[in-house]
Amino acid sequence: MMPRSVPTRVSAAACLLLLLATACGRRAPRTARPLPPPAVTASPVEARQAPDADPNPPQLSDAEKKAAARAAFAEGIDLQEKKDCVTALPKFELAERMYDAPTHLLHIAQCQVSTGRLIEAQESYATLAHLTLPTQAPAAFREAQGAGAKELARLKPRIPTLRIETTPAAASLKNVGVQINGTQLPPDLLGIARPMNPGRYRVIVAAGPGRSGTGEVELKEGETKTLEVKVSP
């Protein structure tokens, strides 16, 4: 005997459930969401420095400046005694910036002389000579000032001078420009015997478009020279 077939009656609610199940099984593929940009983190050095950043950091105290000046001065003395004034001079200049002292100025001037910077040395000696020392100033300061005055007197005759003349005379030229070893010189200094450091110099005088002249001269200690520069017509 054959089994009876079950009537295929489906209610409306069953159909709705069947449609929902089918739709869920056919969902559209999900699109990948963009990853957030990587967080910017400070480097280890920046991380350590950031908390300590101060737009107005404290300066060295007077005691610290004096201590630094002594250290730089001591190194300068050691180098000067070894005849290395090229390296010693910046040490003395640093010491003077840290703490103004006659002893620093004296050794600055001495090293300037040793390196051929006689003009600069003369100014350093003059600054030292014009210092007004208090009555309680250390003996070393007074001794430095006295030594500087004697050394300045010996230095002055060693400084050479150079007078630059032009043909035709500078007064008859217009738009005059003067250069010495590439450095601009005020035209008013033409004709003036000017103290200069020893060395070799190349002078260029220009007087408008197409008019110029050159000259060369070597100055030795104690010399007084005149250089005539002929300016083309």
Q: 116 and 79: one domain?
A: yes
Using CA atoms, how far apart are residues 128 and 154, in angstroms rounded to an integer? 15
Report the side by side order of strands in the sheet with 199-207. Answer: 183-185, 176-180, 199-207, 212-219
* Span 132-153, pLDDT tens digits: 999 999 999 999 999 999 999 9
Query: Above 80 in pLDDT, residue 8?
Result: no
Residue 41: band (very low, low, confident or very high) from pLDDT cuts 50, 70, 90: low
Q: How far apart are CA 61 and CA 92, in angstroms?
A: 20
End-of-domain residue from the set 109, 124, 158: 158
- Helix, strand or coil, per DSSP, at residue 33: coil
- Percentage of the residues of the chain whose pLDDT score is greater than 70: 77
pTM of the model: 0.73
Q: Could you tell me the residue range of the domain that residue 71 belongs to?
A: 62-158
Residue 71, pLDDT above cutoff 90: yes
Q: Do both 143 and 167 map to the same domain? A: no
